[in-house]
Amino acid sequence: MNMNDMVLISVDDHITEPPDMFEKHLSKDDLKTAPQFGVDEKGKCFWTYQGMYMPSVGLNAVVGRPLEEYGMEPNSLEEMREGIYNVHKRIDDMNVNGIAASLNFGTVVGFDGGRFHRAPDKDLSLIHLRAYNDWHIDEWCGAYPGRFIPCAILPTWDMKATVAEIKRIAAKGCTAVSLNENPTAQGLPSVHNAYWEPMWKAISEHNITMCLHIGAGNPVPHASPETPIEAWITTMPMSSAVGAADWLNLSALERYPNLKIALSECGLGWIPYFMERADFSHSRHKAWTNSSFQGKKPSDIFKKHFMVCFIDDAFGLDNLKYVNEDLVAYETDYPHSDTLWPECPEHLWKTMNHLTDTQIDKITHLNAMNWFNFDMFSHIKREDLTVGALRAQAAADGVDTTPQSYGGEKPLAEGEAPRRIVSGDLMTMFEHHAKEGAKKSA
């Protein structure tokens, strides 16, 4: 196999939702009360919903920009590649990057639909959450069958509505949902509470994969407001360990042996030690903690129920024998700042060309197809989905990947000599936007 022969599925990418997201899926008062798109006096984009103000955050949509122009400052649609919010241009950006298929998380609604959970009027939230799912499944993913893995969100504040929505999206062919890894952060019972039993049952019956994306529930910690931002960014993937340990101890895994969990944007290299530590802790403490793990080692349970993914992880791939290679997948994280677009195949090939063809096929697409019950080859021939074939299509379509500059405005350092950006800068900026948003929503 060579690089151009690979077939790549990314199980973690993102959408900045377009302004007209709800127009085909709501009408009259339901449309008027839905999240509303706006542009502020500086030309920056934002959404409002039930008193909440959500500006567009820079690092969420910097693909195609020069590295020196990365930042967290709010931006506008005009300062983004069109593929970030336009599905047709997204396909162009996937083609030029050699990506056959992609699973996309929302932005303004939250990775897990958290905006709807925080809104005070839950009757409206349910209407608009369902409309979001319709847009995501029917309009975004449905525009190009075989190129997207639909991933819905659930109204978990209402368990009856949650079960109904699982059945509804499953009938549409959706095989994945994005959940908050720690629902206590939303004021709901923990995942160890009987409250969730109807959801586990419905998820199991419909063979749906549960995605737990970093940052949706448990905080991504930073040591202090003076912590350099790179320290914070460094630990982001490993912050998945908190939720992973919690869900590894989920008793529902015993009652529903086919439950599938995907740790989204988690990385790979730390996983072997995580499993080793879980096994050690269980061996030392099971005599008094009454945890059974079905008479197996925690690592055995992890290897059965959890899929992990990586962006660029040479160490993890060199130590693949310590994880279940059938549950390792690839991600590009487009259009976030970690993405290596449009050179993902080159970076990936450099770190995995020592693996066998069988291992490469598993990690690049077969594992994702199996875990998400996603058969893209029933829509498109395999030979048309290779890196080489997709890039040839992008070349024929004239897809331009030239880095685009939008200016170097850096409000965080205004009036100061260049200095390290620290966590406190971001907290101050977010607090400022929250206050401005409160004024606009009043």
Model confidence over 114-127: pLDDT tens digits?
Answer: 999 999 999 999 99
Question: Average pLDDT of the chain?
Answer: 93
Residue 329: in which H helix or E strand, if any? strand 328-330
Our CA dihedral for 199, 202, 207, 210, rounded to 10 degrees, sits at: -10
Confidence grade of residue 426 (pLDDT, cut at 50, 70, 90): confident
Inter-residue contact 440 to 83 (CB < 8 Å): no
- Measured between alpha carbons, how far is residue 56 from residues 207, 275, 295, 375 in Å? 34, 37, 48, 34
pLDDT at 271 over 80: yes
Lowest-confidence region among 49-53, 194-198, 275-279, 403-407: 403-407
3-state secondary structure of 296: coil
Q: Is a pLDDT exceeding 60 seen at residue 442?
A: no
Alpha helix (H) ranges present in 238-334?
Answer: 240-248, 252-255, 271-289, 298-305, 314-318
Percent helix / strand / coil, the chain, rounded to 5: 50, 10, 40
**Residue range 251-275: mean pLDDT, rounded:** 97
What whole-number distance in Å separates Cα of residue 352 and Cα of residue 420?
34
Six-digit token pair at 346? 């080159």
pLDDT score of 69: 82
CA atoms of 230 and 59, how far apart (whole Å): 13
pLDDT tens, residue by residue, 3-35: 999 999 999 999 999 999 999 999 999 999 999
| pLDDT on residue 439 | 64
pLDDT of the residue at 158:
98
Residues 297, 239, 162, 175, CA torsion sign? negative
435 band by pLDDT with thresholds 50, 70 and 90:
low
What stretches of 327-384 show up as alpha helix (H) in DSSP? 344-352, 357-361, 367-371
Helix (H) or strand (E) holding 9: strand 8-14
pLDDT at residue 427, as a whole number: 78
d(CA 102, CA 274): 27
| Number of CB atoms found within 10 A of residue 150's CB | 22
Q: What is the DSSP letter of 180?
A: -
Report CA-CA distances (Å) from 253 to 246, 261, 292, 330: 12, 10, 12, 25
- The lowest-confidence range among 208-222, 227-241, 311-325, 397-411 is 397-411
pLDDT band at 405 (very low <50, low <70, confident <90, very high): confident
Among the ranges given (34-48, 66-80, 376-390), the one the predictor scored with the smallest mean pLDDT: 66-80
What phi and psi, each to the nearest 5 degrees, are found at residue 356? -75, 160
Query: Which residues, in sequence order, are CB contacts of 237 under 8 Å at separation 6+?
Result: 214, 265, 266, 267, 270
pLDDT at 406 over 90: no
Mean pLDDT of 357-367: 98
- Domain range for 142 is 3-441
Q: Is the pLDDT of residue 403 over 80?
A: yes
327-347 mean pLDDT: 97
Distance of CA 189 to the CA centre of its chain: 23
pLDDT digit string, tens, across residues 134-157 = 999 999 999 999 999 999 999 999
Give me the CATH number covering residue 20.
Answer: 3.20.20.140
Give Cβ neighbours of residue 41 (< 8 Å, ≥ 6 apart). Answer: none
- When pLDDT is averaged across residues 79-104 and rounded to a whole number, the result is 97
Tally of domains in the chain: 1
Distance (Å, rounded) from C-alpha 255 to C-alpha 164? 21
- Dump strand ranges (E) for 69-141: 99-105
The pLDDT score that the predictor gives to residue 437 is: 61
Q: What is the pTM of this model?
A: 0.95
Averaged pLDDT, 242-254: 97
